[in-house]
């Protein structure tokens, strides 16, 4: 699917612009995904909390001759998500949102008995409610057109537990089930829904704790953490026509963690 139109003659109407909405696309996995989908011909809705980083991502896309808009929203507040939906519809008027990447997420970590209620609520707001609202807003129109792709960025924690991360893991597990539920709901109408589960990421945010994971990373078959662009390539693949028969799948980008028991 290519969002750039190339009319055969000036008398033919231009094809509608095909847009990809990538949440949390101001940095790391989201930014890399936005850049790669722009290379594939999509116009990009860049969105995140940081206005300056959003503008930088938009300018990077536009400097390559592609089209983007930058919208500012936090995803822990449902009101901001609803505003993003309205602003996206306005910004993409005349085009169609054919791709939704639910990448924004996060949440704090604490033992269950020490988890504040607002930490629990934030984990579910970021990882479950925001994707739910966005999918409910854009998937029906995709289904009406008979085409579209949704990729949820999950976590290996949906299949393996760790102490002190119960709220975050429960939220990501819920998102994993939504991938399957939306596959049943929208798949028969032409919308493919899949999930990418990244392992430990070599990112700026994780730099201060990288030494703590040295032994863990060394024990992986890959022997290292993932670069954001490697995860973005997995998202790019699932969006593309090359993945046309892939529905409801979870693509682990974890360096082999799910396949091997560390001894």
Res. 11: pLDDT tops 50: no
Instruction: Give me the residue spans of the domains in the chain.
Output: 17-253
| Residue 10 pLDDT grade (very low, low, confident, very high; cuts 50, 70, 90) | very low
Q: What is the mean pLDDT of residues 109-135?
A: 93
More confident position, 221 or 195: 195
Reported as a single tens digit per residue, the pLDDT across 163-177 is 788 899 999 999 999
Reported as a single tens digit per residue, the pLDDT across 17-72 is 899 999 999 999 999 999 999 999 999 999 999 999 999 999 999 999 999 999 99
Q: What percent of the chain has pLDDT over 70?
A: 87
Quote the pLDDT of residue 105. Answer: 87
Residue 32: partners with Cβ closer than 8 Å, 6 or more residues away: 228, 229, 231, 232
CA atoms within 13 A on the CB side of 117: 0
> Measured between alpha carbons, how far is 119 from 143 in angstroms, rounded to an integer?
35
- Structure tokens, 243: 């993945």
Q: What percent of the chain has pLDDT over 90?
A: 67
The CATH number for 17-253, chosen from 3.40.50.720, 1.10.3720.10, 2.10.25.10, 3.30.110.70, is 3.40.50.720
Mean model confidence pLDDT for the chain: 88
CB atoms within 10 A of CB 128: 20
Quote the pLDDT of residue 243. Answer: 98
Res. 1: pLDDT tops 60: no
Residue 152: partners with Cβ closer than 8 Å, 6 or more residues away: 102, 131, 175, 176, 178, 179, 193, 194, 195, 196
DSSP string, the chain: -------SSTTSPPPPEEEEEEETTTSHHHHHHHHHHHHTT-EEEEEES-HHHHHHHHHHHHHTT--EEEEE--SSSHHHHHHHHHHHHHHTTTEEEEEEEE---------GGG--HHHHHHHHIIIIIHHHHHHHHHHHHHHHHT-EEEEEE--GGGTS--TT-HHHHHHHHHHHHHHHHHHHHHGGGTEEEEEEEE-SB--TTTGGGGGGGHHHHHHSTT-S-B-HHHHHHHHHHHHSGGGTT--S-EEEESTTTTT----
Res. 99: pLDDT tops 60: yes
Quote the pLDDT of residue 165. Answer: 81
| Residue 16 pLDDT grade (very low, low, confident, very high; cuts 50, 70, 90) | confident
Res. 5: pLDDT tops 50: no
Reported as a single tens digit per residue, the pLDDT across 211-222 is 555 566 777 777
Quote the pLDDT of residue 207. Answer: 56
> Measured between alpha carbons, how far is 206 from 226 in angstroms, rounded to an integer?
11
């Amino acid at each position: 699917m290519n969002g750039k139109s190339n009319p055969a003659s000036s008398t033919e109407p231009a094809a509608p612009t095909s847009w990809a909405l990538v949440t949390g696309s101001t940095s790391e996995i989201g930014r890399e995904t936005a850049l790669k989908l722009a290379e594939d011909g999509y116009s990009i809705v860049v969105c995140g909390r940081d206005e300056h980083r959003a503008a930088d991502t938009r300018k990077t896309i536009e400097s390559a001759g592609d089209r983007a808009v930058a919208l500012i929203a936090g995803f822990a507040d449902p009101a901001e998500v609803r505003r993003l939906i309205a602003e996206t519809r306005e910004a993409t008027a005349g085009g169609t949102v054919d791709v939704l990447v639910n990448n924004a997420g996060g949440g704090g970590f604490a033992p269950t008995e020490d988890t504040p209620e607002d930490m629990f609520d934030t984990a579910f707001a970021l990882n479950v409610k925001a994707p739910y609202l966005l999918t409910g807003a854009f998937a029906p129109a995709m289904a009406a057109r008979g085409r579209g792709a949704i990729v949820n960025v999950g976590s290996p924690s949906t299949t393996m537990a760790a102490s002190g991360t119960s709220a975050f893991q429960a939220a990501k597990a819920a998102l994993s089930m939504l991938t399957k539920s939306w596959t049943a709901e929208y798949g028969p109408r032409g919308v493919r829904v899949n999930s990418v589960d990244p392992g430990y990421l070599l990112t700026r945010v994780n730099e201060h704790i990288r030494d703590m994971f040295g032994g863990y990373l060394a024990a992986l078959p890959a022997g290292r953490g993932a670069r954001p662009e490697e995860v973005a390539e997995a998202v790019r693949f699932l969006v593309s026509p090359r993945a046309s028969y892939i529905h409801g799948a979870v693509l682990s980008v974890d360096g082999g963690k799910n396949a091997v028991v560390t001894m």
